Structure 1
Amino acid sequence: MGLTWDLIRWALLVIVIINEVAALVTVFREKRDIAATWAWLMVLMIPVIGFIIYAFLGRKLPQKRLERISSPTAQHLYDAFEEQRTAFVEMPRPEDSLVQTYRRTIMLFQSIDESFLSEDNQVEIFTTGITFFNRLLTDIEQAKQSIHIEFYTIYNDQIGNRLRTLLEQKAAAGVEVRVLYDSWGSMGVKKSFYDNLRKNGGFASPFLMTHSNFLDFRLNYRDHRKIVVIDGQIGYVGGFNVGDQYLGRLKKFGPWRDTHLRIQGGGVYSLQQCFLRDWNASVKPAERLTHFKDYFPSAALNKGKTAMQIVSSGPDAPLQAIKLGYLRLINAAQDHIWIQTPYLIPDDSVIDALRIAAHSGVDVRIMIPSMPDHAFVYRATQYYARALANEGVTIYSYQLGFLHAKTMTIDGKMASVGSANLDFRSFQLNFEINAFLYDRQLVDELEQIFINDVRDSRVITPEMFDAQPLGLRFKQTFSRLLSPIL
């Protein structure tokens, strides 16, 4: 008996040693952010189970898939980019114009994301699911040529079926309909959900052809973008997905607070460009789009006066464009920075930027939800909210329902609205897209929305954080350790 136990102990010791060596080799084999490296190392130290978790969540996307995004499609779409960038640098502008004020920010996005500047946009803001979906479905119903849709989540529920039925009708009427969705975000929706759309002449595909979440074994890299382009003239971008919860129909979340934009003008070209690139990377050669000029009608121009850049980011790009944009905005602030985000899990560079701004006298306010939709993520959000509150940042907890908006406004002059949260996942793992806006009137509207939301929020002070139970604070600290991989 004693010999048996000795053999078991030796066997367990050998397993632990092999596991730790394998963990070191595995985690350092791929280039990662140092925080993510240590977080994964901690997970992999759990024998067997750690490697199972890593198999699904830790491995990076294959290079061949990423190369499909950086394809000849993208090169073709960017043919005119250098001409515009040169013209922007050389074009004289009034010193008091916002485009001149944020000239360096615009040049940053042109350099790191080849993002076009358009100055002719008409923008409408939506903050409730009812108004957003009513307008979206009306625009789709009136489409005459093409409907391009890309969402992280399209659920098989009441609003999801309503959208699908409308798309089937439009496809049957001869309108080109293409739907791109994330297989993980739309979990539970089978491929057959779109069979009737396909029968009517439409198309639907999971992003990067990821048909099975479990066979794919790479759950961590998701298409989190929300893009709709109708006839190449109307575009949508923001935080809403397609599901009943976004209409406030789930008791768990209550009224859903989000922010989404409807765009007419040159900004639609950039949304269309991103969709076409993602579509061609996700489908078989026979379904790829090649006649790009058909999707960029000149009638989309000259609709308004809002200047904007559409900026995308993802693991296919060498630089974290949206995060760098956030940093540029924070560092440029002179008076105030107002942020809404459901997930507050910033990396050290963003924390330092917010800390510097707050200690420099800039009014920094961050609004987060008062309820979780993901337990670990919410506890990590609370940890960082407490840390920033101790640095002089005002933290609001939105009480009316679930806050899902991803907005940032700077000095009443510039703003960002899109799909990207203020967290590691949006910076490093997800495919995201944001609109960066240069328009005092539009930014004032966004800031009025923030002020209205403050009325439905309460301030969480450092003293209130300190009074939290020890067990809750432990959960927050533990969740923070895993934050680079949440």
Structure 2
Amino acid sequence: MLTWMIALSLFVIQFINLWTILRMIFKRKDEPIYIIAWTLIMTFIPFIGFLLYLLFGHGPIMAKKATFLDEVEEREYQETVEWQLKKLMNRRIHFPYLSFIIFNLNYNKSLVMGAKTFTYFNDAKEKYEALLADILNAKDSIHVLYFIIRGDESGERLIQALTQKAREGVQVRLVYDDGGSFMTPASLFRPLKEAGGMVVKHYPAKLKIFTLNWNYRNHRKIVVIDGKIGYFGGMNIGDEYLSKNPKFTPWRDAHVRVTGEVVRSLQLRFLKDYTAVIERLSDLEQIKTHLSRYFPEEDHEDAEIELQLVYDGPDQERDHMRATYIKWVTMAKESIWIQSPYFIPDSEFLHGLKIASHSGIDVKIMIPIIPDNHFVHRATTSYIKELLEAGIEVYFYDGFLHSKTMVIDGQLATIGSVNMDVRSFSINFELAAFIYHESVAHQLIEQFKADQQRCRLLDLTDENNKSWWMKAEESVYRLLSMLM
């Protein structure tokens, strides 16, 4: 009887493995090496391999939940894209990076939008204070989406402010990612719910102890207030962002506050992310019926800054973010300066940077010396040697650098939630702003130079002095990082 049960169990495991492998081959569009690697893992360690795939693999294909908001977005795009393209063609001789804007219009369906005001935050304290002030001044609606909301003082302050406004009759909606906020107690949000605020999780776990897999996380950070003020960037909500955790001090980050036309795009994206995870159909109907309240009319005052917002996620047919960043680095003519907490590029992005450096372009990459994840940090440091050998300057920031920025040629800048890794490029829901204004690029260049004062410039001596154990870890973690 026992032998029969064991044989049946093995048959079931092999059947599940085979079904998963066939699904990867025929349903997914991943790189062949990715499918081959997982096939080998599930073949040689069947049960454990399948569990690892559930937890870290790209997992089941996420079905897109279509709503009326898709029609709104498509209609606005179709009504605007043609005249934007005509307008841009008239500027061809004045703007050498026009092909990138056109690429975003065509490939990402990202319209050029204006920001009347654009405030860059390099410090969470200033961002939190500005955000709370804007929340407390809200008159109609507050929409909040974060990857992480901690159950600490920072999280409590945010929920207290939102609760106060909900009690005053302001419509409050909040989305938080169940994976990023895995350790946050549900009790944190109870006062907001009791005050009438709507709180939902993105892609919640069926089993709390297992939390599904770590993919398909909503890594965006979006706040929209009264449809007129928007926030986005790299900062979540937590005390560590205020450098209150000695392990991650100082903490450096990048976030943005905007007003003007661009807020419309942030509002639409929030509503699409929100309606994708809500279960109350009455709330969806309320949004549809009163949609105009979330998009107040703006005057036509000329915007100070033009930018394009690019959104990506596993519900998209294309890897928008990956293609966009590859296009971004291949346009550079003089310099590429990058700040990222994690640097685990795919082969195309890495080769693009190497080719740029060998072409005489000044490529600088700044990463933190402090790891918040040992696995990810070792995978990141595994790239240092080949970057240095390609002539790329690599800096270790003496603290935790969470800023996700890039500047090319000192003229164009990008800020967002996107890390320079496979997960951000292909798996998570992300947001990046590509900004066409030298003043913003100048701010980020000056910030990079200031951060260099806290950095150590690496050279091949550092690589040669690595222990054999560290090199072994880097090799193994780099291989595994391509699967997760």
TM-score (norm 2): 0.92
Supply the distance in 2 between the matched residues of 1:301 and 1:375 (Cα, whole angstroms). 50
Shift in alpha-carbon separation, 1:299–1:377, aligned structure 2, 3 A: same
Number of the residue aligned with 2:147: 152
Number of the residue aligned with 2:243: 248
Residue deviations 1:309-351 (CA, integer Å, cap 9, x gap): 1110011111111221111110000000000011100001101
- Equivalent position amino acid for 1:51 in 2: F
Number of the residue aligned with 2:76: 80
Supply the distance in 1 between the matched residues of 2:187 and 2:173 (Cα, whole angstroms). 15
Shift in alpha-carbon separation, 1:85–1:482, aligned structure 2, 3 A: same
State which drifts further: 343-352 or 315-324.
Answer: 315-324
- Of the three residues 193, 198, 201, the one matched with 1:203 is 198
The 5 Å alignment of 1:85-484 reads 85-91=81-87, 93-95=90-92, 97=94, 100-208=95-203, 210=205, 212-214=207-209, 217-284=212-279, 285-288=281-284, 289-290=287-288, 291-299=290-298, 302=301, 304-399=303-398, 401-484=399-482
- Equivalent position amino acid for 1:429 in 2: I
Q: What SS does the aligned partner of 1:67 have?
A: coil
Supply the distance in 2 between the matched residues of 1:301 and 1:410 (Cα, whole angstroms). 30
Q: What SS does the aligned partner of 1:387 have?
A: helix
Q: What SS does the aligned partner of 1:434 have?
A: strand
Q: What SS does the aligned partner of 1:101 have?
A: coil
Q: Work out whether residues 153 and 238 of structure 2, in 8 Å CA contact, stay in contact via their aligned partners in 1.
A: yes
Q: Work out whether residues 184 and 213 of structure 1, in 8 Å CA contact, stay in contact via their aligned partners in 2.
A: no
State which drifts further: 248-257 or 13-22.
Answer: 13-22
Which sections of structure 1, spanning at least 5 residues, go unmatched? Answer: 1-6
Q: What SS does the aligned partner of 1:27 have?
A: helix
Q: What SS does the aligned partner of 1:79 have?
A: helix
Q: What SS does the aligned partner of 1:298 have?
A: coil
Shift in alpha-carbon separation, 1:248–1:85, aligned structure 2, 3 A: same
Q: What SS does the aligned partner of 1:412 have?
A: coil
Q: What SS does the aligned partner of 2:352 have?
A: helix
- Of the three residues 41, 63, 67, the one matched with 2:64 is 67
Supply the distance in 2 between the matched residues of 1:300 and 1:130 (Cα, whole angstroms). 31
Q: Compute the displacement of 1:230 (Å).
A: 0.8
Q: Work out whether residues 140 and 170 of structure 2, in 8 Å CA contact, stay in contact via their aligned partners in 1.
A: yes
Supply the distance in 2 between the matched residues of 1:75 and 1:277 (Cα, whole angstroms). 11
Q: What SS does the aligned partner of 1:237 have?
A: strand
Supply the distance in 1 between the matched residues of 2:15 and 2:478 (Cα, whole angstroms). 25
Shift in alpha-carbon separation, 1:475–1:14, aligned structure 2, 3 A: farther
**Matched pairs, number:** 473
- Equivalent position amino acid for 2:271 in 1: L
- Equivalent position amino acid for 2:424 in 1: S
Supply the distance in 2 between the matched residues of 1:208 and 1:470 (Cα, whole angstroms). 40
Supply the distance in 2 between the matched residues of 1:27 and 1:346 (Cα, whole angstroms). 25
- Equivalent position amino acid for 2:64 in 1: E
Q: What SS does the aligned partner of 2:336 have?
A: strand
Supply the distance in 1 between the matched residues of 2:202 and 2:363 (Cα, whole angstroms). 36
Q: Compute the displacement of 1:172 (Å).
A: 0.5
Residue deviations 1:89-126 (CA, integer Å, cap 9, x gap): 222544464xx433221121122222121134421111
Supply the distance in 2 between the matched residues of 1:16 and 1:466 (Cα, whole angstroms). 46
Which sections of structure 2, spanning at least 5 residues, go unmatched? Answer: none
State which drifts further: 76-85 or 353-362.
Answer: 76-85
Q: Compute the displacement of 1:15 (Å).
A: 9.0
Number of the residue aligned with 1:3: none
Supply the distance in 2 between the matched residues of 1:300 and 1:429 (Cα, whole angstroms). 38
* 1:29 and 2:58 matched: no
State which drifts further: 17-26 or 158-167.
Answer: 17-26
Shift in alpha-carbon separation, 1:365–1:54, aligned structure 2, 3 A: same
- Equivalent position amino acid for 1:395 in 2: V
- Equivalent position amino acid for 1:305 in 2: E
Supply the distance in 2 between the matched residues of 1:387 and 1:39 (Cα, whole angstroms). 23
Q: What SS does the aligned partner of 2:382 have?
A: helix
Q: Work out whether residues 69 and 268 of structure 2, in 8 Å CA contact, stay in contact via their aligned partners in 1.
A: no
Q: Compute the displacement of 1:129 (Å).
A: 1.2
Q: Compute the displacement of 1:235 (Å).
A: 0.7
Supply the distance in 2 between the matched residues of 1:253 and 1:158 (Cα, whole angstroms). 17
Supply the distance in 2 between the matched residues of 1:370 and 1:28 (Cα, whole angstroms). 41
Q: Work out whether residues 58 and 218 of structure 1, in 8 Å CA contact, stay in contact via their aligned partners in 2.
A: yes
Supply the distance in 2 between the matched residues of 1:212 and 1:287 (Cα, whole angstroms). 26
Q: Work out whether residues 232 and 295 of structure 1, in 8 Å CA contact, stay in contact via their aligned partners in 2.
A: yes
Q: Compute the displacement of 1:214 (Å).
A: 4.6
Supply the distance in 1 between the matched residues of 2:386 and 2:409 (Cα, whole angstroms). 24
Shift in alpha-carbon separation, 1:59–1:325, aligned structure 2, 3 A: closer
Number of the residue aligned with 2:47: 48
Supply the distance in 1 between the matched residues of 2:298 and 2:455 (Cα, whole angstroms). 42
- Equivalent position amino acid for 1:468 in 2: K
Q: Compute the displacement of 1:352 (Å).
A: 1.1
Q: Compute the displacement of 1:189 (Å).
A: 2.3
